[in-house]
């Protein structure tokens, strides 16, 4: 096939302009493929980082410590108001943290004490959810560091982090002391050491107060244990499997994020399918382009094919010449398209720097190798029809042309 390669190369270099146009056409297809891969992948990454990326993928949560047995008499209606006056505890859960951390799928573990409370400043009172985090693990689940707009995310004893919207509503400033009262009735004077803003600054910014685990122990009168353990995974799609492993490992009830995130998963799958369609169309365009160009070449070179056959070239050899041309076009177009695709994606921010308002293109998800491989395979497949047509050329008729 070495000689077929030489002839194929010569044919391509003999018509430089035609070959350049053909390679450019293939490269555009590859560029679209890569661009769509980076966009769909980046978009999924962006959506996930803004949704499931900031939530616990597997959560161990204490069951209600006082489950109530409600009996109603016939003809009566019982109204129950749910209160959170008592924080449920996982007494021995902290001892499982190292075990969970040792699992290869686990990226981070965050033992937490959570509960309801109130934030007071003078006469102003705001109902809050208080989250106690272990110092050093502040950004283990929610990227508090990334969302911080002022101050420090480090949760020292006596420090509190509040959302920007709430700080503005209550007229607070960094370093100011606020009163945080838990549902247990314990009040602590805390210093505002950091202000965060999540997204456009809606709900969570007005609702969540982050304190150290030690502060939370005081507020909720919980000298030991935690109320929940949040686990973040490297691959959030592995959550269901890891949930079962964690349950088996700890004997504690665990919950996967997919139980509440089924719709998000469905949307992401639909988005991925849209990407597959677009990439398939790009590939079909490449195949049609290569096939039509090579068919034209076959027709133009009929007399030469006739001479080759008369000189003793087998049909297989002729097929080899045209399939090799297709492969070369695929390789050149694939590499060129991948190159310009990569260069075009360079100016976009990296996945870690995605911000609202920017196109979430992920240069690492360009599927360059896949694009080149599929293009070469596609170009080879596209060349089979013209190659077979060339092999069927009758030398007597072709030489007489």
Applying CB under 8 A, the residues found at the interface with other proteins are 1-3, 6, 10-11, 14, 303-304, 306-315, 317, 395-396, 399
Q: How far is the CB of 281 from other proteins (least distance, A)?
A: 35
Distance from the first to the final alpha carbon of the chain? 28
Parallel, antiparallel, or unpaired for β 159-163 and 208-212? antiparallel
Bridging pattern class, strands 228-233 and 58-61: antiparallel
Q: Are 48 and 223 in contact (CB under 8 A)?
A: no
Nearer to other proteins, 169 or 394 (CB): 394
| Per-residue buried b or exposed e for 306-337, using 16+ beta carbons within 10 Å of the residue's own CB | bebbeeebeeebbbbbbbbbbbbbbbbbbbbb
CB of 401 to other proteins, least distance (A): 10
Cβ proximity to other proteins: between 11 and 336 the closer is 11
Give the nearer residue to other proteins in terms of CB position, either 20 or 310.
310
Nearer of residues 115 and 320 to other proteins, judged by Cβ: 320
Query: Smallest distance from the beta carbon of 293 to other proteins, in angstroms?
Result: 17
Is the Cβ of residue 125 or residue 296 nearer to other proteins in the bound state?
Answer: 296
CB contact burial 175-188 (16+ within 10 A = b; e otherwise): eeebebbbbbeeeb
Minimal distance, residue 7 CB to other proteins, in Å: 8
Query: What is the dihedral angle through the alpha carbons of 61, 51, 190, 116, rounded to the nearest 10 degrees?
Result: -40
Residue 308 beta carbon to other proteins: minimum distance, rounded to whole angstroms? 7
Least CB distance from residue 304 to other proteins, whole Å? 6
CA distances 78 to 59, 68, 72, 73, 217, Å, are 32, 13, 6, 9, 34
CB of 314 to other proteins, least distance (A): 5
Which strand (E) or helix (H) includes residue 318? helix 315-345
What span, in angstroms and rounded, lies between the C-alpha atoms of 223 and 232? 26
In the complex, least distance from residue 34 CB atom to other proteins, rounded to whole angstroms: 33
DSSP states of 364-376: GGS-HHHHHHHHH
By beta-carbon proximity to other proteins, the closer residue of 1 and 284 is 1
Please report how close the Cβ of residue 232 comes to other proteins at its closest, in angstroms: 59
Q: What angle do CA 229, 223, 151 make, to 5 degrees?
A: 65
Q: Would you say 321 or 345 has its CB closer to other proteins?
A: 321
**Torsion (CA) 162, 166, 170, 172 in degrees, nearest 10:** 40
Pairing of strands 208-212, 124-133: parallel
Nearer to other proteins, 3 or 277 (CB): 3
Q: How far apart are CA 38 and CA 275, in angstroms?
A: 10
Smallest gap from Cβ 299 to other proteins, in A, equals: 16
Nearer to other proteins, 3 or 276 (CB): 3
DSSP 62: P
Instruction: CB nearer to other proteins: give 52 or 393.
Output: 393
């Amino acid at each position: 096939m070495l000689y077929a390669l030489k002839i194929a190369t010569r044919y391509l270099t003999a018509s430089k302009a035609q070959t350049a146009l053909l390679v450019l056409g293939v490269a555009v297809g590859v560029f679209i493929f890569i661009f769509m891969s980076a966009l769909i992948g980046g978009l999924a990454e962006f959506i996930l980082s803004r949704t499931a990326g900031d939530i616990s993928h597997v959560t161990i949560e204490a069951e209600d410590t006082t489950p109530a047995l409600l009996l109603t008499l016939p003809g009566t209606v019982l109204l129950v108001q749910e209160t959170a006056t008592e924080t449920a505890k996982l007494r021995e859960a902290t001892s499982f943290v190292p075990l969970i951390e040792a699992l290869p799928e686990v990226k981070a573990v965050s033992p937490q004490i959570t509960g309801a409370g109130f934030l007071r400043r003078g006469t102003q009172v705001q109902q809050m959810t208080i989250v106690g985090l272990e110092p050093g693990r502040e950004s283990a689940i929610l990227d508090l560091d990334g969302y911080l707009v002022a101050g420090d995310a480090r949760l020292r004893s006596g420090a509190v982090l509040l959302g920007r919207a709430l700080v503005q509503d209550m007229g607070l400033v960094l370093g100011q002391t606020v009163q945080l009262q838990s549902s247990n009735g314990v009040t602590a004077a805390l210093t505002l050491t950091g202000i965060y803003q999540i997204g456009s600054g809606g709900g969570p910014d007005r609702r969540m107060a982050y304190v150290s685990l030690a502060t939370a122990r005081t507020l909720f009168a919980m000298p030991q244990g935690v109320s929940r353990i949040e686990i973040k995974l490297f691959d959030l799609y592995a959550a269901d499997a890891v949930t079962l492993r964690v349950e088996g490992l700890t004997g504690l009830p665990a919950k996967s994020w997919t139980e509440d995130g089924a719709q998000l998963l469905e949307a992401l799958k639909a988005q991925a399918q849209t990407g597959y369609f677009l990439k398939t169309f790009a590939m079909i365009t490449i195949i049609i382009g290569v096939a039509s160009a090579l068919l034209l070449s076959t027709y133009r070179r009929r007399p030469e094919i006739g001479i080759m056959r008369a000189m003793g070239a087998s049909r297989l050899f002729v097929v080899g010449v045209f399939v090799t041309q297709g492969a070369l076009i695929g390789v050149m177009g694939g590499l060129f398209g991948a190159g310009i695709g990569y260069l075009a994606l360079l100016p976009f921010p990296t996945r870690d720097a995605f911000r609202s308002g920017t196109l979430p293109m992920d240069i690492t998800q360009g599927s360059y190798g896949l694009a080149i491989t599929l293009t070469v395979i596609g170009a080879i497949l596209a060349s089979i029809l013209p190659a077979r047509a060339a092999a069927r050329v009758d030398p007597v008729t072709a030489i007489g042309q």
